Amino acid sequence: MNRQRRRPAYLSLLLLTLQIHATLSFATAAAAAQNISKAGQDRNQPACKGETSTSLDAMSGRGRSASEIGRLEELKKQEAKLARQLAVLRKEKLSALRSRPLTIGVVGFGRFGQFIARTFAKHGRVVVTSRSDYTDIANGMGVTYVPLSDPEAFLEEGLDVIVLAVSILSFDSTVQKLAPQIQKYLDEKASQGGLLRGPLVVDVLSVKEHPRQTLLDLLPPECDILCTHPMFGPDSGKNGWHGLTFVYERTRIDNVLMDPSHETSFHHFTDAGSSDSDADGSFVELGSGTVHDVHENSEAHVEGMDRMERFLSIWEEEGCRMVPLSCADHDEYAANSQFITHLMGRILGSQGLRKTPIDTKGFESVMKLIGNTMADSFDLFYGLYKYNKNSAETIRQLQSALSDVVVQLEEMEKQEQESK
Ligand SMILES: NC(=O)c1ccc[n+]([C@@H]2O[C@H](COP(=O)([O-])OP(=O)(O)OC[C@H]3O[C@@H](n4cnc5c(N)ncnc54)[C@H](OP(=O)(O)O)[C@@H]3O)[C@@H](O)[C@H]2O)c1
């Protein structure tokens, strides 16, 4: 256990961010305390003729003492200094990332695989593989295409990361075929006295519990696992990924299973809405069930973490809103947000709605919803239903809500007729 080793740039960045959060919280608390105490004093004073000072004045800072103002200025200076340090650290992080670009393999070069590969190509070397022949599209994008029927050639590209972007329905069979190939590749390398680590395997499926379990069940233990769901696609992300949500769960590193209930983020500074400042990730070791802390782990664990962070940093650098979330929580939320969106789009789409010369803004949104959801494959829609255990309940609730609304309409009509 080496506690003296150099701290990776992202950890320094995290600590600095926490410092800034702490300073800002302190500044806010101090200012609020000053205002509350001032307001309290004002309330306790008997109202004098001509007195204009109120608690609102206190809140707005009017009538503060010179020392109070001096303290606030001091805190602002500290804040500006930390912001400058953060900017320098971010630059350092970016150049560290660019100096060690990842080689990323993408399995499944369909609509979504092409969409992400195009952006990955800005950050590293990209090798893609798929059932269909996508040589021309890959060449046009400046990435290497290898047929899915030749997994040896794909793995021989020396991949740091393999991103699985196949359909939800074919995910299981794809991993069933790929996993033994990875094992064979690792065995061969080990017999030559090389490589002990497998690639980091990442999924991008729109459901999360299913791929998580499949990867844990089938992949060799040498492979780290990251389960992700970019909550956007070729339509919503056509003008860039800035501000779009990226959900992820660090699932396994160096054969240590991460406890999803402790999933925390090194990226929370990009998530303006999050107040989560718990930087320590806890891990449960497979088999023994021992709980570990990230800092007490081996060099291999730190290397695995570093590679995962470098991959996550691509999304972060593209401006995504990074949201760490357990796969189970993702599926619960997604059934009532993403699945219901697709369901409504499909229902409205199958009604055969058309544009009219008098379309309202609301109807234009409906047509946009239909267009976006129908552009995705039916396999994707079916996958959202079949592999999220919460989706059937969402359909049931929708049916029940539709019946309730129809009953309300019919009852009102009945009352109207009775009152005539
Ligand atoms: N579309 C989005 O907005 C979006 C957003 C976030 C995540 N995702 C996820 O990204 C993945 C891909 O989505 P998609 O939009 O590209 O459409 P999709 O219909 O879900 O998947 C198409 C991809 O799956 C591959 N595939 C299909 N059946 C296969 C089989 N039996 N064996 C091997 N490969 C097979 C296709 O390969 P070939 O083209 O070579 O046939 C193609 O690469 C899905 O898991 C989806 O949940 C999509």
CA distance linking residue 357 with residue 191, whole number of Å = 71
Domain boundaries, the chain: 9-45+53-97, 101-325, 331-418
Give the predicted TM-score (pTM) of the model. 0.75
CATH topology of domain 101-325: Rossmann fold (3.40.50)
274 Cα–ligand 1 center, Å: 31
Contact 368, 359 (CB under 8 A): no
Contact 308, 285 (CB under 8 A): no
168 lines ligand 1 (CB under 6 A): yes
Best residue among 145, 164, 167 to mutate for probing ligand 1's pocket (most ligand atoms within 8 Å of CB) is: 167
Residue keyed to tokens 């090389």: 194
User: Residue 83 has what DSSP assignment?
Assistant: H
Where b means 16+ CB within 10 Å and e means fewer, 290-326 reads: eebebeebeeebbebbbbbbbbbbbbbbbebbbbbbb
340 Cα–ligand 1 center, Å: 20
Distance of CA 173 to the CA centre of its chain: 25
CA distance linking residue 237 with residue 243, whole number of Å = 10
Contact 46, 115 (CB under 8 A): no
* H or E element, residue 61: none
User: Residue 294 has what DSSP assignment?
Assistant: G
pLDDT tens for the chain, residues 1 to 420: 333 444 555 556 556 655 655 555 555 555 544 544 444 444 444 443 443 444 445 445 556 677 887 899 999 999 999 999 988 887 887 777 767 899 999 999 999 999 999 999 999 999 999 999 999 999 999 999 999 999 999 999 999 999 999 999 999 999 999 999 999 999 999 999 877 789 999 999 999 999 999 999 999 999 999 999 999 999 999 999 999 999 999 999 999 998 776 654 443 333 333 333 333 445 555 555 555 554 445 788 888 999 999 999 999 999 999 999 999 999 999 999 999 999 999 999 999 999 999 999 999 999 999 999 999 999 999 999 999 999 999 999 999 999 999 999 999 999 999 998
Best residue among 106, 107, 112, 175 to mutate for probing ligand 1's pocket (most ligand atoms within 8 Å of CB) is: 112
